[in-house]
Amino acid sequence: MALHPWEHLGEESLVHFKVFDVVRARRRSPRTGDDHDMFVIRTLDWVQIVATTADDQLIMVRQYRQGSREFSLEIPGGVVSSVDPDPADTAARELREETGYQPGELRSLGDMSPNPALFANRLHTFVATNCVHVGELIQDAGEDLEVVLIPVGEIDARIRRGEIDSAQVLAGLGRWRACLSD
C-alpha cells in the first residue's frame, strides 16, 4: 500500500506566544477517510553552530534551561528572525553574541526538521572554523551563558557520559561528524 498525504481541511490558531503559536489542524486520513484534529507548533526557524578554534577546541555554552530545569551544555544557536532573515547571518550573529567568537569561515551543513510530529519549522546547522575571540558576550535579558571550550577529541566521551544530551545538539554534532568525511 502506498502512503498518501493527508487532506488539509482547515486550521485554527489556539494560542499565540512570543516565540510560537499552537494551531489545531483538521486533517483527513487518506487510508480511513476519517477526520482528525492534529496539533502543530509554528515557530520561526532556528540555527545552531558547530564552532571550532584553530587549536581544535569546540566552542560550547552552558546555560540553565527552563524546560528541563537543569544546566545544559550546547552548541551556540538561536532564532532566525526578521532582524537577520538569512540563517547564515543569524548564525554569525548568534555565535558572536553567545560566545564572543567570530568565525574564520562559516558554511552551511544543511537543515533538518526538529520534530516533524509537532513542529513546522526548520533547524539550520552551520560549521564555523578557525574562530577567534573578539570580545565579550552580548547576552539577551533571558540568557545567562558560560562559554566552555572542549577539545574536539573529548566530545564523544562527553556524549557517552550524558554531559551533552540536547537532541538538537546531538543531531548537529552528528551532521558535523558526517560532513567531516566529505
- Per residue in 9-66, pLDDT tens? 999 999 999 889 999 999 999 999 999 999 999 999 999 999 999 999 999 999 999 9
Cα–Cα distance, 7 to 121 (Å, whole number)? 20
Please list the residue range(s) of the chain that carry CATH number 3.90.79.10.
46-180
CATH code reported for the domain at 46-180: 3.90.79.10
Residue 174 exposure: Cα atoms within 13 Å on the Cβ side: 11
In the prediction, which pLDDT does 83 show? 83
Q: How many CA atoms lie within 13 A of 171 on its CB side?
A: 15
Q: What is the mean pLDDT of residues 78-85?
A: 89
Question: What is d(CA 117, CA 51) in angstroms, rounded to the nearest whole number?
Answer: 29
Distances (CA, A) of 179 to 24, 75, 76, 100, 157: 37, 17, 19, 25, 20
Phi, then psi, of 57 in degrees rounded to 5 = -105, 130
Nearest by Cα to 126 from 176, 171, 81, 78 = 176
- Picking from 179, 95, 86, the residue whose alpha carbon sits closest to that of residue 145 is 95
CB within 8 A of 89, min separation 6: which ones? none
In this structure, what C-alpha cell is assigned to residue 60? Answer: 560550547
What's the pLDDT tens digit per position in 98-137?
999 999 999 999 999 999 999 999 999 999 999 999 999 9
Tell me the three cell numbers of residue 56: 581544535
